[in-house]
Structure 1
Amino acid sequence: MNVLFISNHDKIPEEEVGFNHPLYQIDEFLKLGYNVTYIVPSFNHFNKTQRIYNENIYSINEKFKVVLIKSISYSGNISVKRFLSHFLFSVSVLKYVVKLKKIDIIFLALPSPFLDIVCVFLKKIFKAELYVDFRDLWPELFEVYLTGVLKIISWPFIKLLYLNRYITFKNASVITAVSNTYLKIAQRSNPNALSDVVYLGYDENLNHDKICQNNILGTLNIIYAGSLSHNYDVECLLSVIKIIDENYSEYDILFHVAGNGFYSENIQKHAVIHNKKLKFYGKLERESLNDLYSKCSVSLCIYDSKTLISFPAKIFELMFKKLPIINSLKGEVGELIENKRIGLNYSAGDIDSLLNQILIFYKNRNLLVEYKNNMNECKDYYSKENQYSKFSLLIKSKIK
């Protein structure tokens, strides 16, 4: 069986930055004895650089090869140049694939504007099966963040993205999604496809985890590590830190923030003003970040109220490090945290709500111990081994 695995934004073997999700999926195909051709752009979406190799096609082993399609660079995640890059990549993929002799399965990572319709076309040409992995809400994203005249002008294009996604789901025989929320959207378009949720999961061995140690006595060390871009509830967090420094200075609470992005400069200023309550590290290497995690007691998942993120990979990392979570996400994550008692939820943008949850943990350290222990059950379910065995079973079910 020959599998064409296509993505316009994923990492490739040997790259450190990016999710391992596609490589784990490819590995399941390889375990079944399939031949996999992995097609990606020459441009690396994660670090915004061109991949430089002597050849655009190279073999990882006899059953797995990578094809780099020349593509143009872009800097903005929401930009005209990014869409141009995706469009040209889709055209180049079409030109490359039509020359191939035999394809049994086309595996497509969504969202992939333009490429989705190309894959539907290729499915019909090769009489292949189309498998889709649904990872993000792109048309919805533009509806939320575009405003004014730009939103009006973009309306026909947004509707085209919706239509293309619907057609792609309709033509898929297997659909996976990285959250149950996303899976339900896909199933509305094609309830007859074989489908299941395959969460991004977490590879504990790969990240050499250290479990947090400071659970009961002493300083309550609270960590936020991740992006500091617009769609995070950073302003609310900084307001809470200011209040704790000014009104609860006797409380032994220390915030640790690691990452980079739009709010970096503002956080740095607050770290100077409120130096007894906030430490800012910038972006840390994995080993240093793991060491910092191991010294903390509580973690933060702070998205703003507009976010469309359903189940971020960060949640799995925090569960595996057994760091009780203070979370702003509603839906699946909010329900998981409440039902499994692994943290506390607050309302995004609500300063009092976030402050109250932090003070609950500060005043009740035994609650931290309970929530930390409750994470053991979640760890097993969201492990890499469990999630990708589900993916393998789905493939085998299709063969039957």
Structure 2
Amino acid sequence: MKMLIISCFDWYEKRTKTIIDYFQKQNMEVIYYTSDYEHIKKEYVKKSEQINYIHAIQYKKNFSIKRLLSHYVFSKRVYKILNKHVPDYVYILIPPNSMLKYAAKYHKKHSGTKLIVDIIDMWPESMPINMKIANCIPFIIWKDLRDKNLKEADWVFTECDLYQEILKKYISNNKISTLYLTKPKTVNINSHYYADSSKIVLVYLGSINNIIDIDLICVLIYRLSKERKVVLKIIGKGEKKSEFIKRAQEAKAQVIDEGVIFDDVLKHEILSKSDFGINIMKKQVYVGLTTKSIDYLSTGLPIINNIGGDTEYLIEKYKAGFNIIDENVEGVAFKILSDFDTRQEMRENAYKLYHENFTENEFRKKLDHYIKYII
């Protein structure tokens, strides 16, 4: 039996590698295709012999016509690859939405092939756009590329429960389930942590773009800085980085720019010497889980979070940080400043949250449960 796994983005370590390994153990011939363009670095990848690449048009801006064109051309090339291989199973990771359109087109002509759709992100819902704009024709067409073709899927996985609030209108409840992202554990938990009551060390990891809520982050920093020294470490880059640094400094934080770090051991060392990880986005962004939150939790780092859905629920359930909104900044700041003695317990809770939800073992258990519906 032959399975094609296709992803436009690099989800290899957090998802695709585990999926490939899992289905290979089901005695399948697994062929993996991905884009030859690296979305984060905005450059073509150094190719590996173990991976098949689909050529993509390069783009420099995340929100641009050229990016949409790149994804559309990529999706058309996926259709040609499907016709070339004629697989028994097709497993696609969405977005881009246009890839589902072409996978569905293939599935209609090859009904014997099983189509598995894995929705990692919701476009355009996860973008911070005004609701009036979101309801304009171009954005409706964009959403419809996904929604109207979901009925062709034999099974749908979602990256979080939240997405199913929208998607359940387009696919039966008995054909959809949540499969969280995963992160392999590479280093020992809390190996470098030492609580210092004289300061609060915050860390932001990831892209610094127009979806993070710089206003809310800086309001919190300013409130904390009235009573403690605040250090903000930034790991990442993005078009809003200069503004973020400037605003954080104006809010009285000492900012340490760590740059872009891909090495997990070095990243872990920085995270494990921090008190809280920042997971704060603009209210309009429709997201239930972020990769940065899993990075934080995997090192036992508690989170200051304003993401709704799954993350809000898990943070509250495990007592692994604080959920913040515009209206409760004062209360959250008070807890951060006064709950110093519970820091270690909160770190243990954060790691427990990771261990019980985001390890490769938990990922495989979920696949074991749903495999009977897929194969």
TM-score, normalised to structure 2's length?
0.88
Deviation at 1:281, TM superposition (A): 1.4
Deviation at 1:96, TM superposition (A): 3.2
Taking only aligned residues, the RMSD between alpha carbons, in angstroms, comes to: 2.8
Within the candidate set 209, 212, 215, 2:195 is matched to 215
Q: In 1, distance between residues paired with 2:348 and 2:278?
A: 18
Deviation at 1:141, TM superposition (A): 4.1
Deviation at 1:226, TM superposition (A): 2.3
Within the candidate set 266, 289, 305, 1:311 is matched to 289
Is 1:138 aligned to residue 123 of structure 2?
yes
Is 1:200 aligned to residue 181 of structure 2?
yes
**C-alpha spacing 1:259/1:106, structure 2 compared with 1 (3 Å):** same
Is 1:78 aligned to residue 59 of structure 2?
no
Q: Report the residue type matching 1:213 in the other structure.
A: Y
Q: Report the residue type matching 1:219 in the other structure.
A: K
Deviation at 1:273, TM superposition (A): 6.0
Deviation at 1:227, TM superposition (A): 2.2
Partner of 1:116: 100
Preserved contact between residue 319 and residue 375 of structure 1 (Cα < 8 Å): yes
Q: In 1, distance between residues paired with 2:233 and 2:138?
A: 41
Deviation at 1:271, TM superposition (A): 6.5
Is 1:45 aligned to residue 46 of structure 2?
no
Structure 2 unaligned regions, length at least 5? none
Is 1:369 aligned to residue 363 of structure 2?
no
Deviation at 1:284, TM superposition (A): 4.1
Q: Can you list the C-alpha shifts for 1:324-355, whole angstroms capped at 9, x where unaligned?
A: 222112222112212221111111xx3x7335
Worse overlay, 236-245 or 124-133: 236-245
Deviation at 1:172, TM superposition (A): 1.0
1:94-113 pair list within 5 angstroms: 94-100=79-85, 102-113=86-97
Q: In 2, distance between residues paired with 1:257 and 1:236?
A: 16
Within the candidate set 361, 370, 373, 1:394 is matched to 370
SS in 2 for 1:139: coil
Q: Report the residue type matching 1:198 in the other structure.
A: L
SS in 2 for 1:20: helix
Preserved contact between residue 234 and residue 263 of structure 1 (Cα < 8 Å): no
1:270-289 pair list within 5 angstroms: 277-285=253-261, 286=263, 287-289=265-267
TM-score, normalised to structure 1's length?
0.83
Partner of 1:385: 361
Query: Which structure: larger Rg?
Result: 1
**C-alpha spacing 1:106/1:71, structure 2 compared with 1 (3 Å):** same
Deviation at 1:252, TM superposition (A): 4.3
Partner of 1:16: none
Q: In 1, distance between residues paired with 2:299 and 2:211?
A: 24
Is 1:346 aligned to residue 324 of structure 2?
yes
Aligned pairs, number: 371
Q: Can you list the C-alpha shifts for 1:59-115, whole angstroms capped at 9, x where unaligned?
A: 63xxxxx33222211112221111111121222222333233x31111111122322
**C-alpha spacing 1:323/1:355, structure 2 compared with 1 (3 Å):** farther
Deviation at 1:361, TM superposition (A): 1.9
Is 1:10 aligned to residue 10 of structure 2?
yes
Within the candidate set 27, 30, 34, 1:36 is matched to 30
Preserved contact between residue 198 and residue 388 of structure 1 (Cα < 8 Å): no
Partner of 1:331: 309
Q: In 2, distance between residues paired with 1:264 and 1:92?
A: 35
Q: Report the residue type matching 1:134 in the other structure.
A: I
Deviation at 1:6, TM superposition (A): 1.8
Q: Report the residue type matching 1:255 in the other structure.
A: L
Q: In 1, distance between residues paired with 2:350 and 2:45?
A: 39
SS in 1 for 2:75: helix
Q: In 1, distance between residues paired with 2:147 and 2:248?
A: 47
Q: Report the residue type matching 2:356 in the other structure.
A: Y
SS in 2 for 1:38: strand
The 4+ residue runs of structure 1 with deviation greater than 4 A are: 207-212, 270-275
Q: Can you list the C-alpha shifts for 1:345-390, whole angstroms capped at 9, x where unaligned?
A: 111xx3x733541332222212323322333532332222112331
Deviation at 1:294, TM superposition (A): 1.9
Preserved contact between residue 3 and residue 103 of structure 1 (Cα < 8 Å): yes
Q: In 2, distance between residues paired with 1:353 and 1:342?
A: 17
Preserved contact between residue 198 and residue 387 of structure 1 (Cα < 8 Å): yes
**C-alpha spacing 1:20/1:232, structure 2 compared with 1 (3 Å):** same
Worse overlay, 116-125 or 369-378: 369-378
**C-alpha spacing 1:195/1:241, structure 2 compared with 1 (3 Å):** closer
Preserved contact between residue 147 and residue 170 of structure 2 (Cα < 8 Å): yes
Q: Report the residue type matching 1:259 in the other structure.
A: G
Deviation at 1:208, TM superposition (A): 6.1
Q: In 2, distance between residues paired with 1:264 and 1:59?
A: 35
Within the candidate set 137, 146, 150, 1:165 is matched to 146
Partner of 2:238: 261
Is 1:68 aligned to residue 53 of structure 2?
yes
Q: In 2, distance between residues paired with 1:297 and 1:138?
A: 33
Q: Report the residue type matching 1:43 in the other structure.
A: Y
Preserved contact between residue 90 and residue 116 of structure 2 (Cα < 8 Å): yes
Structure 1 unaligned regions, length at least 5? 13-18, 61-65
Partner of 1:295: 273
